[in-house]
Amino acid sequence: MADEAVGLAGAAAGRVRRRVVVLGGGFGGMNAALRLAELPVDVTLVDRKNYHTFQPLLYQVALAVLSPADIAQPIRSILRNKRNVEVLMDEAVGFDVEAHRVTLKSGAVLVYDYLVVATGSSHSYFGRDDWAKLAPGLKTVEDALEMRRRVLLAFELAERQMLERGTHPPLNFVVIGGGPTGVELAGAISDIARLYMRKDFRHIDTRSAKVIILEGSPHILGMYPEDLQLKARQQLEALGVQLRTGAQVTDVQPGYVMVGTERIDAVVTLWAAGVQASPLGKLLGFAVDRRGCVLVDEHLNPEGHPEIFVCGDLAHFEQDGKQVPGVAQPAMQMGTYAARRIGVLVGREAGSEGLATKGFRYFDKGDMATIGRKAAVAKIVWPFKAHWSGFMAWLAWLTVHIFFLIGFRNRLSVFRQWAWTYLTLQDGARLITGSQDLPGWVEQGKE
């Protein structure tokens, strides 16, 4: 391992061209790498996975509308034609920011001239990490497959128990958190129960399933305007979803959730209530906020380190007195800006003058959240300003998400699957893989 570390470090140090290391193959990292590929620099992109995931559509994998291959693409295939970019499947575990070195989990060491850190975020259970096994969150393909397993397994176990005993526990699905992810999960569960699976079972009525959103604040979709919050509530209620705002979850146990002293039975509990920054934020050694996001300046640099750029969910960047949200749009723009800024700095080293040095500014094009089949809300800021809901918002959501998917094959596959689902009311990825145990089912099923 030591020889490997020296070899990689020495190779980097011996290069004439500047070396840029990009950590993370998400929206920020990929956009940085694609733009850096156009510059006279050598780029190493490091990620734990060998694929890029289009996270806004993870919930559609979780609810069996799409398969993982529809929303993920190998990083190497995306960067295949970028000759100055190399890809390592590894994980950063340490930094020496003064020596410009990154230590990888494999033991290798990378030396950089410029560093882009875009490793995203993970779930936050607000100090109750023991809830994670009982209420999975949604950040990765693995998370989506686990959610899919639990939701579909609940219906299968109910069918089996109905046949064997003539009864089954109430099919209550509890989603903790009323932000975009929580709303999308709740609407999708209601859709598959009411529409897509209603003819597939012989002994249970899937339409009897109850979906409950528990939101601790007074409003769902708190970052949306009040009129769209109201429209979202109306559309969710039309789908049969029960909304509980001001409902602070105090405990999560197998088969039930506690809100204060009230017990709410749940065959499946899903988490959409909080996120925290990647641990790498703290490993860097710079000032962080309460979520672990690194405080950055107008150029996305931690204080005193113009050669380091922090992007996406990991960056605490404020604009007009507010923190820019940790969603896909800002991450993509930050990655592009970091690459452009590196181009400016490399140009200065080469003696170029008059290059732009403006700070990063997030261009907000709007926000969209889908609620169900033909149901969504959209706050459109560009190219015109509008608040849409219902079918028009849903159609806009479909169009935008297909456009931003990386790769023609993915766009074609997703469009074909969505069209099939819309016309036939049939999902194409209802596969249960892994364990057939569902937390809490045995306790609820006892006579």
CA distance 15 to 8: 11
Q: What is the DSSP string of 87-149?
A: EEE--EEEEETTTTEEEETTS-EEE-SEEEE---EEE--TT-GGGTTTS---SSHHHHHHHHH
Backbone angles phi, psi at 46, to 5 degrees: -120, 130
CA distance 242 to 186: 9
Instruction: Give the torsion sign (CA, 87, 66, 431, 120).
Output: positive
Q: Is 184 a catalytic residue?
A: yes
Q: Evaluate the omega torsion of the peptide bond into residue 325 and state whether it is cis, within 30 degrees of 0.
A: no
Backbone angles phi, psi at 117, to 5 degrees: -110, 115
Radius of gyration (Cα) for the chain, nearest Å? 23
**Residue at token pair 């590929």:** 37
CA distance 308 to 319: 20
Q: Report how far apart, in Å, the C-alpha atoms of 247 and of each of 178, 186, 215, 261, 412 are.
A: 10, 16, 5, 11, 41
Q: Which of 142, 184, 237, 298 is catalytic?
A: 184
DSSP-assigned letter for residue 288: B
The set of catalytic residues is 184
